[in-house]
């Protein structure tokens, strides 16, 4: 898995994936899989677009899409990759490792190389390496899905041991509320002001935080307001998110947030501006679907225990589902993602490649 070590050594923050993309191109070209780049970078203000490629197969079977993302969460610059004697791979401790999602990229590459070197018959294969996945799947949302031939996908982007997979993920809505009050001197005439932070606090105190029900969560993430301790603040900006396995419930809760802030602001004479953005939309792939059944058979053939479950994190699979592509998100031995304690394991990476080979060479 030398490619994994090479990929993780590359700085590839969201909107800055160019070096990663060029390394991926150089790795895949010898396999006869030429990757084309779209204009997602231009649309998003980044320096790189999504990479797409198609490899014809020699099995009479429908094509399958295999996907991973090229960007890495911060802190990801100047990574120092450490390979422990027991096979565990970590960063130096002051950055993320980048297994999320260099593991997915390396596993797809290793699987295709093994198939080619051993002359294995395989089905038609599409690959898509996306940009800006960590920012609510923006890169995948820019992709032209009319190019895609596959109706089924495996997205290699899930934490945990190989054999795990996600078949359901939530809608993720991010919202911003700006409370508009009125400034005044806090010592001489505070009664002439309208305290924007106080109005925001009343709204937040009235809202249910955390698990709203078994399917839905609400969180206030940031609060910013005021310019000095002796001025009644005339502005407070609050951001948060709603997640739900039900898209309709997510929308209803976002509307409740808006209404609660509106009531709190009105009670003190303030006003609000409210905006909401859908980062990704909920989906569920039935366990009876061929994409799930094929995964189970592949696991059984390798002696792996398949564990198909829900995840409360979004991925490019949310976007694929919106475009009629049914998929699973596969675990690729990444652990403690989005932290400087992130790690993976050489043996598990090899197992992930074996599983991917089995899927690529499946006749059904």
**What is the residue-wise DSSP string for 47-76?**
S---EEEEE--SSSS--EEEEEE--BPSS-
Q: Is the pLDDT of residue 309 over 80?
A: yes
Q: Which residue in 17, 100, 110, 133 is the catalytic one?
A: 133
The predicted pLDDT at position 61 comes to 95
Confidence of residue 167 (pLDDT cuts 50, 70, 90): very high
Contact of 278 with 173, CB cutoff 8 Å: yes
Contact of 325 with 154, CB cutoff 8 Å: no
pLDDT digits 0-9 by tens, 210-263: 999 999 999 999 999 999 999 999 999 999 999 999 999 999 999 999 999 999
Distance between CA atoms of residues 240 and 256, nearest Å: 13
> What integer best gives the mean pLDDT of the chain?
96
Instruction: Of 213, 275, 286, give the one whose Cα is nearest residue 244.
Output: 213
Q: Is the pLDDT of residue 87 over 90?
A: no
Contact of 180 with 272, CB cutoff 8 Å: yes
Q: Which residue in 17, 71, 126, 354 is the catalytic one?
A: 71
Interval 157-172 mean pLDDT: 97
CA distances in angstroms from 357 to 43, 53, 75, 121, 329, listed in the order given: 34, 17, 32, 10, 16
pLDDT digits 0-9 by tens, 324-349: 999 999 999 899 999 999 999 999 99
Query: For 118-221, where are the alpha helices, taking DSSP H only?
Result: 138-142, 196-206
The predicted pLDDT at position 140 comes to 97
Q: Residue 175 pairs with which residues in a beta bridge?
A: 240, 276
Contact of 332 with 156, CB cutoff 8 Å: yes
Confidence of residue 32 (pLDDT cuts 50, 70, 90): confident
Interval 271-281 mean pLDDT: 96
Confidence of residue 3 (pLDDT cuts 50, 70, 90): confident
Contact of 141 with 69, CB cutoff 8 Å: no
**Three-class SS state of 39:** coil
213 is an active site residue: no
133 is an active site residue: yes
First to last CA, the chain: 28
Contact of 211 with 290, CB cutoff 8 Å: no
């Amino acid at each position: 898995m030398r490619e994994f070590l090479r990929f993780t050594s590359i700085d590839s923050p969201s909107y800055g994936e160019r070096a990663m993309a060029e390394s991926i191109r150089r790795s895949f070209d010898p396999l006869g899989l030429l990757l084309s780049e779209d204009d997602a970078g231009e649309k998003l203000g980044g320096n790189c677009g999504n990479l797409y490629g198609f490899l014809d197969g020699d099995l009479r079977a429908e094509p399958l899409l295999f996907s991973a993302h090229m960007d890495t969460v911060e802190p990801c610059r100047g990574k120092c990759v450490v390979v422990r004697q027991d096979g565990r791979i970590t960063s130096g401790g002051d950055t993320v490792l980048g297994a999320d999602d260099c593991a997915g990229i390396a596993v797809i590459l290793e699987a295709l190389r093994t198939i080619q070197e051993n002359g294995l018959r395989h089905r038609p294969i599409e690959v898509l390496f996306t940009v800006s996945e960590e920012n609510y799947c923006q890169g995948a949302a820019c992709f032209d899905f009319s190019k895609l031939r596959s109706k089924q996908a495996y997205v290699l982007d899930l934490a945990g041991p190989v054999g795990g997979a996600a078949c359901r993920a939530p809608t993720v809505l991010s919202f911003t509320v700006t409370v508009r009050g009125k400034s005044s001197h806090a010592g001489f005439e505070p009664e002439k002001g309208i305290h924007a932070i106080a109005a925001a606090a009343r709204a937040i105190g009235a809202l249910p935080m955390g698990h709203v029900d078994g399917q839905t969560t609400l969180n206030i993430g940031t609060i910013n307001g005021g310019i000095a301790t002796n001025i009644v603040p005339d502005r407070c900006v609050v951001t948060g998110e709603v997640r739900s396995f039900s898209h309709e419930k997510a929308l209803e809760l976002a509307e409740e947030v808006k209404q609660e802030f509106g009531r709190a602001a009105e009670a003190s004479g303030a006003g609000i501006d409210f905006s909401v953005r859908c980062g990704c939309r909920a989906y569920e792939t039935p366990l009876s679907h061929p994409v799930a059944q094929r995964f189970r058979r592949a696991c059984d053939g390798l002696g792996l225990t398949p564990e198909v479950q829900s995840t409360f994190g979004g991925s490019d699979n949310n976007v694929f589902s919106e475009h009629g592509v049914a998929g699973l998100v596969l675990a690729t031995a990444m652990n403690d993602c989005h932290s400087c304690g992130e790690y993976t394991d050489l043996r598990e990476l090899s197992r992930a490649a074996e599983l991917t080979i089995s899927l690529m060479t499946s006749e059904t």
